[in-house]
Every structure is written in structure tokens, then in C-alpha cells.
A and B are shown apart, each in its own frame.
Chain A
């Protein structure tokens, strides 16, 4: 039995629709091909250059954007974005939780987020076809790569390349000084106090740990199974750090702890308070933190 006329019409209509939609997809694909970027989550992002408005969901990304000269194009940052000072004047889109509504209201050309904490917002924005670039830096080298990646996504590839090269040179310079210091005097044992009660430090896998190693020190929490451990006070006393870096407690608070009086750093006074933003934010200022660490760990080789 053959098909009747009605069925033919339906069939032809369906075929035409399918062909048309394929055609549109091909056309659209061809138009955007040159601006495809793979982000740190392995997702493919399509951006239309030039970018006119950007939203940053992390202080580190805000610092990178401003360093790339994109400050004018940033239309939303978090409450935590305190550097550079101009960033504080930008509209806020949230703190730990981002407001999706505020992001949509801005209708940004690009959102730059971090993969580790912000999966829900990345997924929600992607569903709304707002381009989201997720960075996921684990090492200092990742930070340099992220600068180049963000440069590519924002059409500032050249500036980003220069910035990454400059930061890379600074790191090499510090590495050379640190290597010389280590060769002559060994690696001083370093303890970084993140918090006092409970006593918390930074273990392997953190930027702080990597920065200490680059600056020619040995993190006494090298064998911690946890990235941000509550650290054993007695192990600290046994490992006897020669340098203590503190980001919270004052030098004097540390010196008054009775059990710490035999710790080398307390006896010699080699306790240094540093701004944690330099040590934990995967942005350009990480290199400044590195430089301050070198000064604290190998003062003779600093200049």
C-alpha cells in the first residue's frame, strides 16, 4: 500500500526542515570557528571579538584582567576583589555565592570564573548561552598559562604574552638567587602559619608550598596529606622551623607562646607577617609574594 498525499506532504516538510536546520548550523559554525577556546575544564568556549563587557567571579581573575588593561571593560566583580583599588568601585555581583540575576542583567560578552568552587554558576550561565571561561590554576606555571588564556579570550593576546613573559623572567631571576643561596647555605625550614587556634598551615598542593620551594625554603608541612591541615604543634617544635611566615597572628603573639620558646625562628626573631593575598591568589601578584618570601627566607641573597 502506497502513502497517501497527506503523508507525502508531511514527509517532505520534515525533510526540508531537517535540511534547513543543518544548513543554519553549518553557517553559524563557520562564522564562529576562529574564536573557539578550550578552557581549563576542557570546555569549548566561543567568543565574539571584540569583547565589550567582562564579569569576573574571583579576585585573582579581576587582578589578571586589570593587569591586561581590561579594567574599563570589567562590569562586575566580587566583594572580595580589593585589588587594584579601581576594582573596588566596580559593580558587585556577589561574594561566595554569585547572583545569576545580576550577571544576566549585565549581559556580559564573557564571564571569567574559577573551576574549583563555581561549577553551579558555570553550568547555569552556560545553559543561558552566556560564555563562561573557567580557569583552574594549580601551579605557578598554570597562572602564567591562565594569563595567556584570558588574553586570548579577550583579544589581548599580545599584552598577555608580554605580561606572562615578564612574570616568568622575574620567577627565573628569583630561582637563580634562591639556587645560589641553597647551594651555599641549604634550604631553611619554613613554617607558614595561616591560623593560630587551631594551628593551620599550607601543605603540598598549595601555591604557598610551591612558592616556598621556589624561594629556596623547605615547607615543614611537606608530608601533610591535607592541603590546608590543622598542624600538630609538637611536630612543629620537633621540626624546628628557622623561618616563620604568618598571615594572621602578630609576631609578638607567636613569641609569647610558652611551648614555642625553643623554636629557632622564635629565638632568632625570623618571623615575618605577609599579606595572604600575595601568597594565595593565583594572579600576577603571586610573584610579589614569591619575592617577599625570598627576602624572608634568604635575606642575604635578596637584593
Chain B
């Protein structure tokens, strides 16, 4: 790191904080703008007044009638939970992607490379096919079964790859790819015999945040916060592992256990976000790359930056997804791929001259 050598570590730390502060402000702006845009047009002044009233006074008990009341319901009960969910899911996928790209030393790694998405997909497909009743009021069985299935998949992949206590990273990647293809074959077969539920399965697999409320935010938050906290704490160890197993050992890192912890934390956040959002692609691949190109490979900056930027990216993509062809919406996975790929190439072209480390 150039900064470290020339101006000292504390200056670098200040710059790091600066970057994260700017990103956090951008996320806040994105959330406010997203809350103001929707298929139903609500004037900006009204949006701001509803939001500030909600923040500074508790007026939930006040009787609600009239147009302003419908607008308040739309902003507070429809848009905001969905925006929070987009920020959580985007942040999780992007953070997990950044950690796994570092861990595997593989630019193609993303949160789905370990087969978690296919596990969640199979769980969701089964829940939809078998018409499983909901376990909790206000929450369908689909996210719950998807979460359980993705955790089971993660355990299977891990044990298939394990060799005498050590988990070689290449074996792990291969194991993930193989389990993933197997599960996708099962999903395809299930779709073939699904009849009327086929469309619902396809829509789920494409990834969508449609009709999601605070219940989804509440069930996903604990796992996501826990997983991301673990990743942040282990950011320094991840830097050392990137140097190589031997180097990490000389520097006092138990690389096997660190790898396990990072894989566990990434899997946890991925499983939680896929369960509530479906398989939303490109966020976990592209956003970490963009952040690495702009900010460099230090995971202490890269991981939090990727989390916030992933949130910004998915909040924006979902705003486009729900407003482009009203009153219909587009599954957000289509938008992330459509918008993400060209944007990535633009960034790649712009930064590849400056940084050769990718």
C-alpha cells in the first residue's frame, strides 16, 4: 500500500474511514431517493415530510385516513421494508463475494460458487411444489425451507471437500461446483413436473424482492449481521491468508481455522439473503471487483466497502426493477445482470491501466 509507506499508517486509516463515510452517505442518499420513487407518484416534499415525521415523532397510533395516509402506507410499509431488504441482501452478497474471492484467490468466485444458491433453489422449489404450509404467521414456508436447504448444502459441500481435517481450497471449489450441478439437475427435473407452479419457481429462481415486508427483514437480519461481523473481524487474517498458507502460518495465523470461519460466515449471510431474495446474480461477483479496482485489495477496507456498495447497487437496481414497466415489476436479478455487466466493463476499462493486481 503506497499510502502506508509514504505517509504512515494512521493517515491510511483516516483515508479508509473517509472512503467508508462517503459510501455510507451514498447509501443513505440511495435509500431516500428509492423511498421517493415508485410506480405510484408521490411528490418529493410529501415523501420527505412522511419520512421525517416517522423519524422524529411516533405517529403510528394516529388515525390514518385520506390520500396522505395511503401514501404513508406505501412509503413506510411497502417501499421501506423492501429497500432495507435490498440493502441487506446486496450488502451480504457483495461482502461474501469479496471475502470468497480473497480466500480462494479466484476472481471468478462469488457467493454462489459453494452451491448455496442451488441448495436454496431446491429448498424453495420443494416448498412451492409441495405447497408446504407456512410455519410462522405472515411468512410463507419458502424462505424457511430455502434457508435450511442451503445450510445443509453447505455442510455437504464442506464434508465432501474435507480431507483429514484440512480443506484444500481447490477441492472445496470443485466440490461446490459438482454439488451445485447435481442440485440444479434436480431442480430442473422438479420444474419439469411442476405443472402450474412452474412460473412461481422460475420467478423465485430469477430473484425478486416483490411483496416482501418487515417479516423478511426481521428473519434475515440476525444471520446477516452475525456473518458480516465475523467477516469484518477476520479481515486482517484474510489479508494474511492472501499472502499464502505458509506466510500466514509464519505470521501466527491458524489458516485452516480462519478459512473455515470465513467460509462459514460467508455461507451464513449468503444463505440468509438467498432465502429472502431468491438467486440474485452479479452483485456478489461484480461489486467486490469494482471496489477492489477502486480501493485496492486490503480487506479491512474492501469488505466494509463491498458491503455498503453492494447495498447501494441492489437498492438502485431494485428501484429500477419496480418502476420500469408499471404496474408490472421486473425480477431484480434481470436488472442486476443487465445493468451490472456493462457497468463492470466500464469500470474495468477505466481502472485496468492503474492497477495490475486483477
Which residues of B (186-202) have their CB < 8 Å from a CB of A? 192-193, 195-196, 198-200
**Which of B39, B142, B331 gathers the greatest number of chain A CB atoms within 10 Å?**
B39
Residue of B nearest to A203 (CB): B328
Interface size range of chain B in the complex: 35 or more
For residue B73, CB closer than 8 A to chain A, the reply is yes
Contact A234 B40 (CB under 8 A): yes
Residues from chain A with a CB closer than 8 A to the CB of B322 are 232
Residues from chain B with a CB closer than 8 A to the CB of A249 are 140
Contact A229 B78 (CB under 8 A): no
Contact B212 A262 (CB under 8 A): no
Residues from chain B with a CB closer than 8 A to the CB of A256 are 137-138
6 contacts between A and B (CB under 8 A): A197-B204, A238-B74, A256-B137, A261-B73, A262-B64, A262-B69
For residue B52, CB closer than 8 A to chain A, the reply is no
Identify which of A97, A198, A258 contacts B208 (C-beta below 8 A).
A198
Which residues of B (298-355) have their CB < 8 Å from a CB of A? 322, 325-331
Known: A258-B77, A259-B77. A197 touches B211 (CB 8 A): yes
Residues from chain B with a CB closer than 8 A to the CB of A128 are none
Complex Cα gap A197–B219 (Å): 16
Q: 0/1 per residue, A273-285, Cβ < 8 Å to B?
A: 0001000000000
Known: A198-B208, A198-B210, A199-B210. A231 touches B38 (CB 8 A): no
Contact B195 A253 (CB under 8 A): no
Residues from chain B with a CB closer than 8 A to the CB of A41 are none
Within the complex, what minimum Cβ distance (angstroms) separates B243 from chain A?
44
Contact A195 B78 (CB under 8 A): no
Identify which of B74, B195, B325 contacts A237 (C-beta below 8 A).
B74
Contact B195 A262 (CB under 8 A): no
Interface size on A, residues (CB 8 A): 40
Which residues of A (126-180) have their CB < 8 Å from a CB of B? none
Residues from chain A with a CB closer than 8 A to the CB of B77 are 258-259
Contact A233 B193 (CB under 8 A): no
Complex Cα gap A224–B328 (Å): 6
Residues from chain A with a CB closer than 8 A to the CB of B70 are 237-238, 240, 262
Identify which of A95, A198, A240, A258 contacts B331 (C-beta below 8 A).
A198
Complex Cα gap A232–B330 (Å): 10
Complex Cα gap A81–B137 (Å): 34
Identify which of B74, B79, B193 contacts A95 (C-beta below 8 A).
B193
**Which of A96, A196, A259 gathers the greatest number of chain B CB atoms within 10 Å?**
A259
Q: Given contact pairs A80-B195, A195-B199, A231-B327, enumerate 5 new A-B contacts (beta carbons under 8 Å).
A: A80-B196, A95-B192, A195-B200, A196-B211, A230-B210
Residues from chain B with a CB closer than 8 A to the CB of A225 are 325, 328
Which residues of A (95-109) have their CB < 8 Å from a CB of B? 95-97
Residues from chain A with a CB closer than 8 A to the CB of B196 are 80, 276
For residue A49, CB closer than 8 A to chain B, the reply is no
Contact A195 B203 (CB under 8 A): yes
For residue B134, CB closer than 8 A to chain A, the reply is yes
Identify which of A95, A223, A237 contacts B78 (C-beta below 8 A).
A237
Complex Cα gap A258–B81 (Å): 11
Within the complex, what minimum Cβ distance (angstroms) separates B142 from chain A?
7
Within the complex, what minimum Cβ distance (angstroms) separates B226 from chain A?
24
Contact A234 B38 (CB under 8 A): yes
For residue B214, CB closer than 8 A to chain A, the reply is yes
Within the complex, what minimum Cβ distance (angstroms) separates B40 from chain A?
5
Contact B210 A235 (CB under 8 A): no
Contact B134 A228 (CB under 8 A): no
Residues from chain A with a CB closer than 8 A to the CB of B137 are 256
Closest 5 CB pairs of A and B: A198-B210, A229-B328, A259-B77, A199-B211, A235-B327
Known: A198-B208, A257-B213. A229 touches B327 (CB 8 A): yes
For residue A226, CB closer than 8 A to chain B, the reply is yes
Contact A229 B142 (CB under 8 A): no
Residues from chain B with a CB closer than 8 A to the CB of A228 are 199
For residue A251, CB closer than 8 A to chain B, the reply is no
Within the complex, what minimum Cβ distance (angstroms) separates B89 from chain A?
14
Which residues of B (205-234) have their CB < 8 Å from a CB of A? 208, 210-214
Within the complex, what minimum Cβ distance (angstroms) separates A108 from chain B?
23
For residue A200, CB closer than 8 A to chain B, the reply is yes
Residues from chain B with a CB closer than 8 A to the CB of A234 are 38-40, 74, 78-79
